[in-house]
């Protein structure tokens, strides 16, 4: 009789330990499930916010042509802020197709509304409000003329733009581009991402 009681007690002890172990495993599995859910939820939320940012705030734009060399090369990829930005002198902007332009162009803002822009093509110098610009970003001295006569005053709500590759850029020196209205500016370049290494003429 004593042996039976001891066996029963031992069996009950094993059963309780097994139930405790199973209960602990269930709790652990539940905790793992919650942790996995939290991770997936965080990833989903992160992806959503990144998508919102790229749809409404910034855009990726590929550079075509060599008009912005050496700053930007053909095949480069830039991030453009399309909302909540203020264009200032020296900014690089993406301009939507307008007038005779069939595709977007990327240029540097040289003058804003009210500025007087003058170019001395003999001395290869650019002046804004009678002050010579310091332009370490250009690839060559400004020598190429188009049909616009200087000096010019930038109208209200407009910008005067030039390419950094001054002798291979269609920009505000030409009436084909002229003064760029603010509504035509798609966005401001805020970051250069990668270079795909291709080279072809244009832009």
Active site residue 26: no
Helix (H) or strand (E) holding 94: strand 92-95
Q: Report CA torsion sign: 200, 71, 189, 162.
A: negative
Per the rule left: phi > 0, alpha: psi between -120 and 50, beta: everything else, 129 is left
Between CA 186 and CA 95 the distance in angstroms is 5
Asked if 64 and 153 count as a contact pair (C-beta separation under 8 A), the reply is no
Q: Which of 13, 41, 67, 102 is catalytic?
A: 67
**Phi, psi for 165 (deg, rounded to 5):** -90, 80
Active site residue 188: no
Q: Which of 13, 99, 107, 169 is catalytic?
A: 107
Per the DSSP assignment, residues forming a β-bridge with 120 are 125
Annotated catalytic sites, by residue? 67, 107
């Amino acid at each position: 009789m004593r042996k039976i009681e001891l066996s029963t007690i031992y069996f009950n002890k094993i059963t309780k330990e097994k139930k405790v172990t199973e209960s602990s495993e269930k709790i652990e599995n539940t905790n793992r499930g919650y942790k996995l859910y939290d991770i997936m939820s965080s990833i989903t939320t992160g992806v959503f916010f990144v998508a919102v940012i790229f749809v409404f705030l910034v855009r990726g734009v590929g550079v075509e042509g060599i008009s912005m060399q050496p700053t930007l090369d053909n095949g480069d990829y830039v991030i453009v802020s399309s909302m909540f930005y203020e264009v200032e002198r020296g900014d690089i902007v993406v301009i939507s197709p307008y007038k005779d332009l069939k595709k977007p162009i990327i240029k540097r803002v040289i003058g804003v509304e009210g500025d007087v822009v003058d170019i001395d093509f003999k001395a290869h110098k650019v002046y804004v409000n009678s002050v010579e610009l310091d332009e370490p970003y250009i690839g060559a001295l400004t020598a190429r003329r188009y049909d616009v006569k200087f000096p010019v005053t930038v109208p209200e709500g407009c910008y005067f733009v030039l390419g950094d590759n001054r002798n291979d850029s269609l920009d505000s020196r030409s009436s084909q581009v002229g003064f760029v209205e603010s509504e035509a500016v798609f966005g401001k370049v805020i970051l250069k991402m990668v270079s795909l290494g291709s080279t072809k003429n244009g832009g």
